[in-house]
Amino acid sequence: MALSQPRPTFNSFWSARLPNLLNPTKKDTPMPDKFSEFLTPDNAVLAMIDHQTGLLASVRDIQPETLRKNINGLTNMAKTAGIPSVVTASLSEGSNGPILSDITNVLGGTVINRAGEINAWKSPEFKAAIEATGRKKIIMAGIVTDVCLLFPALSAVAEGYDVYAVVDASGTWDEVTRDAAMLRMSQAGVKVTTWASVLAEVMDDWRSNQGYPLGGVLGGHTAYGLVYESYLAQQSEQDSAD
């Protein structure tokens, strides 16, 4: 026969609750919710991982021209918004090849060439570069999605970073592999997103200093360009009339 657990006494029940009842204006400080906190130009860093020509040639889950356009959109977004960036490569002198020149042309030629770590987060130089920014939100893209993006995203989240995995500026062998990686990242608390969504989140308001420049980036790399071009034409006509 199991022994019954002692019931809490009246005094023990109320001793834990009475202070709050007597002091109703006192509220517990709410815990910050990283899932509802937005990206800004001041709290984020961009990490571009292994966007190398050899690896890009093996991508099959997204059309090459679309992927390239998305990569250019993401990097130009970071440059326009003044978001710092870290670029890294794996075995760049071997079959993986060099970093895509589109990236270095926009973000500069500084590339952290890892000694052999598959997971970029295990590279002391890469991790130190992220830490040096002092920012806890990492906008991250990588090729291939299920390794070069997945592994450092999981590792960074485990250490308290808030990772935005930009899947349309990443790529891998096939859609099944991509979807499996997205599921695993989501399960770990990584925010799976797209580059245009990141841009809009960083922009926040058309009236901000980055509003129209970022709108131009979006227009230059998506079908939104038709809308943006129409708006600029209309503005030009109004200015001429004035």
Give the residue, 1 or 132, on which the prediction is more confident.
132
User: Which of 5-14, 62-71, 171-180, 191-200 is the least confident region?
Assistant: 5-14
User: Above 80 in pLDDT, residue 186?
Assistant: yes
User: Above 60 in pLDDT, residue 120?
Assistant: yes
How high is the mean pLDDT of the chain? 89
Q: What is the pLDDT of residue 134?
A: 98
Q: What is the pLDDT of residue 27?
A: 52
CB 77 within 8 A of CB 214: yes
Average pLDDT of the residues in 213-235 = 85
Q: What is the pLDDT of residue 103?
A: 98
The top-scoring range by mean pLDDT among 44-53, 90-99, 230-239 is 44-53
pTM (predicted TM-score): 0.84
Which residues have a catalytic role annotated? 148
DSSP string, the chain: -PPPPPPPPHHHHHHTTHHHHH-TT--PPPPP-TTTPPP-TTTEEEEEE--BHHHHTT--SS-HHHHHHHHHHHHHHHHHHT--EEEEEESTTTTT-PBPHHHHHHH-S--EEESS-SSGGG-HHHHHHHHHTT--EEEEEEBSIIIIIHHHHHHHHHTT-EEEEEGGG-B-S-HHHHHHHHHHHHHHT-EEE-HHHHHHHHH--TTSTTHHHHHHHHHHHSTHHHHHHHHHHHHHHHHHH-
Q: How confident is the model at residue 232 (pLDDT cuts 50, 70, 90)?
A: confident
User: Above 70 in pLDDT, residue 165?
Assistant: yes
The top-scoring range by mean pLDDT among 3-7, 22-26, 95-99, 227-231 is 95-99
Q: How confident is the model at residue 92 (pLDDT cuts 50, 70, 90)?
A: very high
Give the residue, 177 or 241, on which the prediction is more confident.
177
Give the residue, 69 or 2, on which the prediction is more confident.
69
Q: How confident is the model at residue 154 (pLDDT cuts 50, 70, 90)?
A: very high
Q: How confident is the model at residue 225 (pLDDT cuts 50, 70, 90)?
A: confident
User: Above 60 in pLDDT, residue 193?
Assistant: yes
CB 126 within 8 A of CB 88: yes
Give the residue, 23 or 146, on which the prediction is more confident.
146
User: Above 90 in pLDDT, residue 229?
Assistant: no
User: Above 60 in pLDDT, residue 167?
Assistant: yes
